[in-house]
Amino acid sequence: MFRGRRALGLGWLGWVLGVALASSLGGQAGAQESTRTETLRWSHPQPSSVDGFRVYYGSSSGNYDQSLDVRIPGTDGSGNFVYDLRVPADQVVYVAVTAYAELESGFSNEKVSEPPAPPPSALGQPGRPQPVLN
């Protein structure tokens, strides 16, 4: 894995959106645990100067035990790079991105994705009776 530094500037690379992650839940056929998809969006001021990007993620801040080489992902209508990352549905995930050419840049700013809150129960809170109106 590359870890050299070069002035590709992921100080320049910025996340797009107030929260740069959007969740959707889903399961994989044959998978034991359910997953969710986090849609990552980011920009780079000189996209033609990079050969690709790596997405790093893990279960604690600054500790990325997983990485994916996403090369040059697709872009949205605003020119932001977009990548859908599958993560465990019930875990908090910390995400950062690097750019690479001959060497790899430092990490972008970190984004945190928390699992979505469970939907409210139709029966109300457990152990608390709910009135029924006819």
User: Which regions of 17-118 does DSSP assign to beta strands (E)?
Assistant: 23-26, 35-43, 52-58, 66-71, 81-88, 93-100, 111-113
The encoded tokens of residue 82 equal 């977009």
Q: Is residue 77 part of a domain?
A: yes
Domain assignment present for 64: yes
The count of structural domains within the chain is: 1
Question: Residue 17's Cα: distance from chain center in Å?
Answer: 12
Residue type, 133: L
> Do the domain assignments include residue 108?
yes
Q: Whole-model pTM? A: 0.70
Q: Which domain holds residue 105?
A: 14-113
Query: Is 74 within the bounds of a domain?
Result: yes
Question: What string of pLDDT tens digits covers the 134 residues of the chain?
Answer: 334 333 333 334 455 432 234 445 554 444 456 999 999 999 998 899 999 999 999 999 999 999 999 999 999 999 999 999 999 999 999 999 999 999 999 999 999 999 988 777 655 556 566 566 65
Residue 34 inside a domain? The answer is yes
33 lies in a domain? yes
132 lies in some domain? no
